[in-house]
A = this chain, B = another copy of it.
């Protein structure tokens, strides 16, 4: 993790907010997911890109999209790698790789399956209720990864 600009406790708070996004998804808990995302004056400007999706804008539409995805997810677990956190004023930009484990298809003989890799940008805003997610942008990694300086 690269943390050049802020005291450790602030970066830790951002990291905790980022972890909670994935924990809420893993738990399939829409209330927790709702608490992760910005609300109030920021509600209209929240935006979310699920891997392969167009941009979804606005808190209501974003939470509806999560409800749909979670309803269609039997099991999912995230292993975050390549985590980078930058805080500048009231904006925090987190980038990470999501290594995903999902339920295996029925009849495959396995219980779990590697569900691919997603790279994500998560932008948080500092609010009176702590760091709240303002933008999530996840995208599928379709090319073979050869480390960070992949140039295929």
* Chain A interface residues toward B at CB < 8 A: 2, 4, 44-45, 47, 49, 51-58, 61, 64-65, 68, 82, 84, 86, 88-91, 93, 95, 97, 117, 119, 121, 123, 125, 134-135, 137-143, 145, 148-151
Copies of chain A in the complex: 2
A93 pairs with B139, CB closer than 8 A: no
> Which B residues touch A88, using CB under 8 A?
89-91, 125
B55 pairs with A97, CB closer than 8 A: yes
| Shortest distance between the CB of A29 and any CB in chain B (Å) | 19
A151 pairs with B49, CB closer than 8 A: no
A90→B150 CA distance, assembly (Å): 30
B54, B123, B143: the one within 8 Å of A148 (CB): B54
> Which B residues touch A52, using CB under 8 A?
139-143
Closest to A147 in B: B54
B84 pairs with A54, CB closer than 8 A: no
